Chain A
Amino acid sequence: MTMTERDPLDDFFEAGRADRAAPDPALMARVLADAEAETAARATTGPRREGRLSAVLRGIGGWPALAGLATATAAGVWIGIAVPDVTSPFVAGAGYDLNDLLPGYGTDVLVEG
């Protein structure tokens, strides 16, 4: 009798671990083929998705051009809103008339002609 009582199951577990089933080379080959196929699938789907966006960007000159386009658009909107206030003194301001700016083409000429 041993000093420490050994679980009788341990002998069976030991035998079980030694008798571990090993995969066939054919299974290993199939698993590796799946890995290769998955890599290939990612390689074909990835760039196509990005290609459309990059094609549009290339057409307008890339990201810097897109930023410039956005800035120009915003500036245009701002100018469109602000211009009437800025230019009104010159167009219809007190003390100025068309004769003051272009005397030869004033209303006097039109009346005499």
Chain B
Amino acid sequence: MRNLLSHFFFFSFAIGLLVPFVVYPLYQTVCMSFFENDTFTIKYYSEVMGSPESLNAILHNLIWIIVHLPVSIVLGLLFAVLLQNRRIKGSSIIKAIIFIGMVIPMVVGALLIRFSFERGIGIVPLLFKSLGFTSLDKTWTAYPDTALLSLIIGSIWLWTGFNMIVFSSGLATIPKEYGEAAMVDGASSLQTFFKIIIPLLRPSFLIALLTTFLYELKIFDIVYVATKGGPGDASMVLAVLVYIFAFRDYAIGKATVAAVLLIAICLIPSIEIAKLVTKRA
């Protein structure tokens, strides 16, 4: 009995914080999406699912994933492989530069995106102008056709460092002899890379994939600070839409529906991560 009490004590602080401020609100979010004045309704769901602005936001999250996921993972892997090469002098400094996107607050990341894509102020429009693409010499975040793209490119810049570190730690666990043995057997570097290194990096791929996917769904700060989802709703995403529904439209029912959708999409990768993290110890 005493034992049980002392065991419970170890969990009491965590429970005391989690139950009122995480577990109960999570339950409430789901409840609020289904109830209007204590009567069950799916009205909010039909409102949200039928409105073009939600479909538009979901589409933007999808575009974000389609572009950002492969690019940030391939770049992260390439940088990790390149920069583990001992012949490169100062590779740790370059690694630190790429990783800094992970350290800077997302709000600063958002300002940096606006800054870098602003005509006359930032480097990106200048770059396209000097390459002859004069139509892209404009403030990207201010035009519907480029706003989302500029945010996605910026988020690749911010996030690739994470994937690079994941693959670097994965590579560090692969014994050098594996690659060397394959080379002695006459395999080319490319063959070694695709047939030996890549399969051994499977756990790193899984972590990078799941974490990046969640990051793309949770995108809020970058969009809210850089464009507020605009111009119009050209860069609106689901997480910002939750905020817009709740605090611009005061439509709490619709906001919780959007939140539930977000939870539902995040649930599968979250459970996969939970399995990975729980199993391994």
Do A and B associate with each other? Answer: no
Residues of B participating in the A interface, judged by any CB pair closer than 8 Å: none
